[in-house]
Amino acid sequence: MLNPAVPLLASWAAPLPVGVAFSGGVDSTALLHAAVQLWPGRVQALHVHHGLQASADDFVRHCEDVCRALGVSLHVGRVDARHALGESPEDAARRARYRTLAALAAEHRLQHVLLAQHADDQVETLLIALGRGAGPDGLAGMPRQMQRHGVDFHRPLLDLPAASLRDWVLATGTPHIEDPSNSDPRFTRNRIRLQVLPALAEALPQFRETFARSARNAKRASMLLNELAAVDLQSTGVPPSIGGLRALSRERRANALRSWLRQAHDAVPSEAQLAELNDQLEACATRGHRIRLKVASGFVEREGDHLGWYNSRPP
């Protein structure tokens, strides 16, 4: 029985050697086996020990056994992925996972790392984004390629439904882990997977394809907005001048502000914060008008004729 990940990887222009993020679960197991089949001796496995479950050490031992049988080097990174008060546990774990994967890849001179997210994961991501009221950036879903912490991450399986990977693993008897946290209803993604996706499959059988098309359309819209922001920030300067921002329409001003904050300071304003900042700029008709507004984890403040952003109040 053909591993469904093989044709997708075979069509990928692989920059070798390559790392595979390997949890031991169904999806990453299918991905690792496909990569080893195509590129023997050019694949290394990266495993993140989250420290969130008592069975985490057992997961490591399983991955060691699998990699030993495949002749693949396994590199394990341990991280404390517990979330801070008020922080999403899923977001905290995700950030910790990428930091650790990137550190492992850099340590072992791997510029490229494969991730096993598939079409169902993409749908879950879009539904979470909709639930949060996301704009085009969020509705674009997970990109096929991205760079974090200096490492290039790739998602070659985004066109595959989860069932095709599970069917291959079960039909071939390939050893894998069933992570009990995947059925924990406390996590939003699990509730979507267990409750929403089956209902979507019944009501809209082609939902994976149509959601993917919507994500591509959102991505195009996001790219156009980013291009427009670049043009506007070129005219306002960076940090942006208040006069230059006031010369823009309200929507273009909001788009430019969002882009400046994200690119220059890795700060993502809420819709309410962005609207208040826009209001303050519209009212800023005199040199004496003061602006100091909480945005993300810091503050936007007026500095003469320009805006600045700070993690704390400047001296």
Question: pLDDT tens across 147-197, in order?
Answer: 999 999 999 999 999 999 999 999 999 999 988 878 888 888 999 999 999
Q: Is residue 223 part of a domain?
A: no
Q: Is residue 225 part of a domain?
A: no
- The Cα–Cα gap between 251 and 270 comes to 15
145-148 β-sheet, strand order: 73-78, 43-49, 18-21, 112-114, 151-154, 145-148
Indicate whether 158 and 279 sit together in one domain: no
Q: Is residue 222 part of a domain?
A: no
Q: Quote the number of domains for the chain.
A: 2
- The Cα–Cα gap between 122 and 137 comes to 14
Q: Which of 208, 228, 253 is the C-terminal boundary of a domain?
A: 208
Strands 73-78 and 151-154: unpaired
Q: Indicate which CATH number applies to the domain containing 134.
A: 3.40.50.620
The pLDDT of residue 52: 61
Q: Is residue 188 part of a domain?
A: yes
At 95, is the pLDDT very low, low, confident or very high (cuts 50, 70, 90)? confident
The pLDDT of residue 84: 52
Indicate whether 83 and 195 sit together in one domain: yes
Q: Indicate which CATH number applies to the domain containing 277.
A: 1.20.59
Indicate whether 197 and 243 sit together in one domain: no
Question: pLDDT tens across 240-284, in order?
Answer: 999 999 999 999 999 999 999 999 998 888 899 999 999 999 998
The pLDDT of residue 314: 47
User: Which residues constitute the domain of residue 55?
Assistant: 5-208
Q: Which of 91-95, 96-100, 103-107, 268-272 has the highest mean pLDDT?
A: 103-107
Q: Is residue 228 part of a domain?
A: no
Indicate whether 197 and 244 sit together in one domain: no
Q: Is residue 226 part of a domain?
A: no
Indicate whether 31 and 122 sit together in one domain: yes
Indicate whether 39 and 177 sit together in one domain: yes
Indicate whether 108 and 198 sit together in one domain: yes
Q: C-alpha angle 119/50/21, rounded to 5°?
A: 45
> Which amino acid would we find at residue 111?
Q
Which tokens go with 83? 């979330």
Indicate whether 179 and 264 sit together in one domain: no
pTM of the model: 0.86
Q: Is residue 107 part of a domain?
A: yes
Indicate whether 78 and 129 sit together in one domain: yes
Indicate whether 84 and 33 sit together in one domain: yes
Indicate whether 21 and 131 sit together in one domain: yes
Residue-averaged pLDDT of the chain:
91
Question: pLDDT tens across 30-41, in order?
Answer: 999 999 999 999
Q: Is residue 229 part of a domain?
A: no
| Chain centroid to CA 70 | 29
Q: Which residue has the tokens 């591509």?
A: 216
